A = this chain, B = another copy of it.
Amino acid sequence: MHPAERILLGPGPSPVPHRVLRALSAPTLGHLDPQYLTIMDEVCEMLRKVFQTKNALTFPVSGTGMAGMECVAVNLIEPGDEVIVCVNGVFGTRMKDVMERCGATVHALETTWGDVFTLEQISAAFAAHPKSKLIGIVHAETSTGAHQPLEGLAAIVQAHGALLAVDAVTSLGGHELRVDDWGIDAIYSGTQKCLSCPPGLSPVSFGPRALARMDARKTKVQSWYLDVSMLRKYYTGGGGGRVYHHTAPINMTYALHEALTIVLEEGLEARIARHAAMHQRLRAGLEKLGLGYIPKRSLHSLNCIHIPAGADDATVRRRLLEEYGIEIGSGLGPMAGKAWRIGLMGHGSTVRNVDLVLAALRTILGR
């Protein structure tokens, strides 16, 4: 088993720094070892900085990004609850499915894939469904590359006594994202995108309004594995109050510790600015090649472009992989065969990678 050294410029996983891979292979500790608990506490503290939150309940769920989505849903929703989900791509569609499986009546607010939602549209959805207890929205829609603004949303949501739940899988650590300033009540992300850690953990954060909702539940959380009423005793119990729940993925926690250390060494602002600059550099190059963007308001971390007429989707991606060792993403769901997704995430968002993928596309497309 000798995995090749790919340059991962797809929708995730992103390239993992050597320092993170080295941390991953540090000796395995027990999950209740005092050393490990210190490492976990530091991970949670660094996650608070990256999420820009003071939320005590900020920790990595022991699963990949979709486990984070499910964790937010099962803990905040009770059977019969009405919720609004904003659907403009695969991940909004999934959020609707996940919340329906929790017994929610989901009112889908839909718009064209690639577009984002306005505050007016969201106000109208609450006016139409005033009993909605929660709204779910995707900050960074990985299937279309659309970048959803979130400022101003909390005022509308809170005026209706609802909670704001956000999918930030493809934005955390690469895009501006202010959990406390923006009034986000619950948020989840993944490690394998702008944090440049291998997949396997899903950072989440729950604010005081979400905690109050959970404390007032009348029913048990349907998932034992993701039940925050038990998880919080492990992650925020501290010292002697810490209660074993499940065996955490020890070595993945080391990797996330190192990945977050790197994020904070660079500085969150500088990192976000780098993602913006590399996106602009790629966009300029793609436009010279005549390649256009699908979303009107593109993410910096993920560039979703139209496959040009005359190019064969699978052939181009195979040549990128075989001749250059570069992975880019295909279109997902209804976008299959119509879109390429070029990720510039975390450690992968560099001048070297931007210029390389542009050169490779120029050659393969013969432009």
Select one of B65, B251, B332 contacting A200, CB under 8 A: B251
Q: Give per-residue flags for A1-15: 1 if the beta carbon is below 8 A from chain B beta carbons, else 0.
A: 111111010101101
- Contacting residue for A29 out of B6, B21, B220, B224, CB 8 A: B6
- List chain B residues, Cβ under 8 A from A190: 247
A108 within 8 A of B: no
Q: Which residues of B contact A5 (CB under 8 A)?
A: 27
The reply to whether B198 and A251 contact each other, CB–CB distance below 8 Å, is: yes
- List the 5 closest pairs (A to B, CB-CB), nearest first: A200-B249, A25-B25, A21-B25, A198-B251, A66-B246
Do the beta carbons of B24 and A24 come within 8 Å of each other? yes
Complex interface: chain B residues within 8 A of A131 (CB): none
Check A158 for interface membership: any CB of B closer than 8 A.
Answer: no
Within 8 Å by CB of A64, from B13, B30, B246, B258, lies B246
Nearest CB on B from A302, distance (A): 14
Residue A254 CB within 8 A of the other chain:
yes
Q: Which of B16, B39, B101 contacts A28 (CB 8 A)?
A: B16
What is the total number of residues of chain A having a CB less than 8 Å from a CB of chain B? 69
Chain B residues lying within 8 Å of A70, measured Cβ to Cβ, are: 223-225
Query: Is A252 engaged at the interface, CB distance under 8 Å to the other chain?
Result: yes
Contact across chains for A64 and B200 when beta carbons are under 8 A apart: no
Residue contacts A-B, CB under 8 angstroms, 28 given:
A3-B28, A3-B35, A3-B39, A3-B254, A4-B35, A8-B30, A13-B247, A15-B28, A21-B25, A24-B24, A30-B327, A62-B63, A64-B247, A65-B246, A66-B246, A66-B247, A70-B223, A100-B220, A101-B222, A192-B247, A198-B249, A198-B252, A199-B248, A199-B249, A199-B250, A222-B222, A222-B223, A249-B252
